[in-house]
Amino acid sequence: DQQVKQNSPSLSVQEGRISILNCDYTNSMFDYFLWYKKYPAEGPTFLISISSIKDKNEDGRFTVFLNKSAKHLSLHIVPSQPGDSAVYFCAASAGAQKLVFGQGTRLTINP
Amino acid sequence: NAGVTQTPKFQVLKTGQSMTLQCAQDMNHNSMYWYRQDPGMGLRLIYYSASEGTTDKGEVPNGYNVSRLNKREFSLRLESAAPSQTSVYFCASSDRGGLNEQFFGPGTRLTVL
């Protein structure tokens, strides 16, 4: 039972354009959501998060949107840069210690 | 300030062999975690430790044991390795459990033949 799903294994975007990565969840008890970025041969690094009491959080080029009624989360990257090429994981928690991760989406930014 | 460190970086085992993966953090975090990452599966939690002296099972604990040696160190042991345990293992730590970001180590790539 996959509680957090990233249905797009890969995404290719032109440099300078907007990248939109999507994530769906099934557990209505999740109250905190995070995005992580992972380069090859490195551990994931935290990118941005959002609490369930908000519907948007922005940090520079990165914005996360939360639609609780649809149980949907998205990450927008504007403008996309070559260094953004990585695997992106969304994750969720239900107020406890544990994070549940999605399968990841490989983002490729083309020059 | 090294963050989260893991040893070894790579390991090849034969079926039935045992080994311990080491993890240490220097951020004075209370909580520590072990994940495995497999293609198409994301990161799955094996065990975690909310604080020194406590450990709890995650999503995929079978075949593993853990020890929270002190506040800094959290080790993962495979008593009798199986090919299904071939994976990349990540250790992480955080200050407030799931309500705060987790900081990850660089990973250990384990192959079980």
How confident is the model over B42-99, as pLDDT tens digits? 899 999 998 888 999 999 999 999 999 899 999 999 999 999 999 999 999 998 655 5
- Residue A82 φ/ψ, nearest 5 degrees: -55, -35
Cα–Cα distances in Å, from B99 out to A51, A107, B22?
A: 9, 26, 25
Q: Is A52 on the interface with B (CB under 8 A)?
A: no
**Residue B28 carries which DSSP code?**
-
A98 to chain B, any CB pair closer than 8 A? The answer is: yes
Identify the band that residue A96 occupies on the pLDDT scale cut at 50, 70 and 90: low
Summarised one tens digit per residue, pLDDT across range A22-61 is 999 999 999 999 999 999 999 999 999 999 999 999 999 9
Nearest-angstrom CA–CA distance, B37 and B41:
7
| Position B2 confidence tier, pLDDT thresholds 50, 70, 90 | confident
> pLDDT tens digits, residue range B20-39?
999 999 999 999 999 999 98
- Residue of chain B nearest A93, judged by CA positions: B98
- For B34, list phi and psi in degrees, rounded to 5: -125, 130
Q: Which residue has the tokens 């890969």?
A: A10
- Phi first, then psi, for residue A31 (nearest 5°) are -130, 5
Q: What's CA A51's distance to the chain center, in Å?
A: 13
Kindly determine whether residue A97 and residue B50, on different chains, have CB atoms separated by under 8 Å. yes
**Chain A residue whose CA is closest to B41:** A103
Strand, helix or coil for residue B8 = coil
Positive or negative torsion for Cα A42, A48, A3, A11? negative
Inter-chain contact B99–A95, Cβ cutoff 8 Å? Answer: yes
The C-alpha of A51 sits at a distance from chain B's nearest C-alpha, in angstroms, of 9
Give residue for tokens 């959501």.
A33
B27 in A contact zone (CB under 8 Å): no
Longest dimension (CA), chain A: 42
